[in-house]
Amino acid sequence: MNRNDMVDWLFENGDAVIRYRTATEMVDDKTDYNISSLRTQLMKTSKAHYWMKCLKDKRRLNYIHGSYDYCFENAMGKLIFMGIKAGFNKLEDSSKSYVKWLKESLESISDEPIANPIDYFYENLIASFLSASGFKDVEPVASFMRERIQRIYDFTKDNNFSIFADKANYKGISSAFKKHPFIDPELYLDGKFSLPWIHDLFAFSAFYEEFPKEIDHIISYILNKKYQDFPEGYGIVMAGVKRYTVLGWNVWLPGYKSFEMSDFEKQNLITRMILMSPFKVARQSNWYKNCLSHLEQFKRKDGTYLFPKEYLKEQNNSYFINGSHMGLGENRRTKDGLALESTFWMMKLKDF
């Protein structure tokens, strides 16, 4: 099958998510499709109902970041992958409460003598997912992310990979953290962390046209072997006076060093390729090209793809950002359920 045949196959055989995303993202002439009807069909699915219900306005941080489906990051991430973004009335309504949450958090004044970068992490998480959902121009999302992009670029532009300090110079670090390196406080003196988090990639895709030079350089920094040699999960940060915590979520890339991967690395591979795929420098990298070559082994005789189930994990109450919600609503018990999802994702990875 050529590309047009593959698009037709996806649309004719897929369920509501694949049909909607195929018609809105892959076809040459959208006028051939009733987008309004496809949108209605999508919102009527049990999956859309479930994930919209998970997107609740709760005033506790564990409803923002965590592994449960009801956490903002997992519900919003899943909705993005289902194609449900700005323009869907229910999502428009739900997003307002998170914009308000971000605004209130940014305006809050702490009496702590040391700013806690964890607070900034939560703010960045909210702003990043809202950006990718089509709310990049809404304040304070827009101003927050523009400052964030410039901050990361200013640090990475000189390719500085010396990010750790000697733990011996700091008192009160728990022995439970002995395996983790200590991140130099110079990187977050004001509580604003200067290194990229995996969640930033959502925002980068939304702001890429505005900051192509800055974002491509940040992506180059991430692709550098010295960055990929960082431990998974950055390390320890100061969270107050003699208070410390581990701050993770760095952009580690499965397949960077080898395709002898654990199941956890396999479930992260396609998610991280999707997040890196909008950026020219990423698509031109050896890592991305090698990953595509690796996935080609799962091509079927008819031109469609069938990935092992470990590559497209779908599991309740797991982190979306770790590739645990890659399902697109297909019934994987049917002959082509997993093949439809595999083929859709492969076309997205190659469609640039």
Domain assignment of residue 171, yes or no: yes
Share of the chain above pLDDT 70, in %: 99
Domain assignment of residue 198, yes or no: yes
Say what the pLDDT of residue 59 is: 66
Domain assignment of residue 225, yes or no: yes
Domain assignment of residue 331, yes or no: no
Domain assignment of residue 44, yes or no: no
Say what the pLDDT of residue 60 is: 79
- The domain of 243 spans 55-252
Task: Compute the C-alpha angle 241/244/246, nearest 5°.
Answer: 155
Domain assignment of residue 77, yes or no: yes
CA distance 135 to 301: 41
Q: What are the tens digits of pLDDT across the range 100-112?
A: 999 999 999 777 7
Tell whether the model's pLDDT for residue 1 goes beyond 70: yes
Say what the pLDDT of residue 351 is: 80
Q: What are the tens digits of pLDDT across the range 203-257?
A: 999 999 999 999 999 999 999 999 999 998 999 999 988 899 999 999 999 999 9
Say what the pLDDT of residue 31 is: 84
Say what the pLDDT of residue 277 is: 98
Say what the pLDDT of residue 352 is: 57
How many structural domains compose the chain? 1
Domain assignment of residue 291, yes or no: no
Domain assignment of residue 275, yes or no: no
Q: What is the largest CA-CA distance in the chain?
A: 66
